Amino acid sequence: MLDYMMRLVEERRKAPGEDVASRFIAAEDGDAELAGEAAMQCFQMVAAGFVTSVNQIANTVLALLNHPAELAKLREAPGLVRGAVEESLRFEPSVLSLSRMCKSDTEIRGARVSEGQFVFAMIAAANRDPGLFSEPDRFDITRQQSRHLTFGSGAHYCPGAPLIRMEVEESLRALFSLPRWELAEPTLSYAGSNLQDRGPSSLRVRFPAA
């Protein structure tokens, strides 16, 4: 996908249009440090609009199936669905980390980071900070404190956050319109191995007769 976006951006550099890729290129404004950003931004738009949503839905369903007591709570009180979504975003986020490039030599808690080095901020670890969350390794859909960093923070807060929340919530509502559902396979595989994305390659769910 990234290779495709890079080819697309090169085409738009030669023949700009009215599309998003052309606007990203225009935003570079000849800045050499931003060269290549247009392709990455196009890639991120596609990935954020599809991959993260699919993975988060799967991660949420799996978290509920792996914690039957919480699943039972949600069945008894469907109004807890938003809490279930927020807890799944904290407990099993589809985005594990964010990468940033250091713009100048600095030191973070005793670790030296040089200009040009990439730093991975581990969202999944921050979401289980025992200094912020009580029993952080426990999946609890009634958790009151849910200041997770799954969507980032500040100026870079994910603009698609409301959409992903809605997609996961509506997926759960659709599943709960069925009397029963359970995991159809005991072992799951995860596509690839990286520090950014997490979600099962497939999640087969069985709907047994009531």
* pLDDT > 80? residue 69: yes
In a domain, 183, yes or no: yes
Overall number of domains in the chain: 1
In a domain, 14, yes or no: yes
Predicted local confidence at residue 34, as pLDDT: 62
In a domain, 139, yes or no: no
- Residue 16 contacts residue 25 (beta carbons within 8 Å): yes
pTM of the model: 0.79
In a domain, 187, yes or no: yes
In a domain, 149, yes or no: no
In a domain, 8, yes or no: yes
In a domain, 78, yes or no: yes
| CATH code of residue 42 | 1.10.630.10
Q: What are the pLDDT digits (tens) for 33-50?
A: 665 778 877 877 777 677
Instruction: Show the domain range for 187.
Output: 2-94+155-206
Burial class (CB in 10 A: 0-12, 13-18, 19+), 164: buried
Radius of gyration of the chain (CA): 20
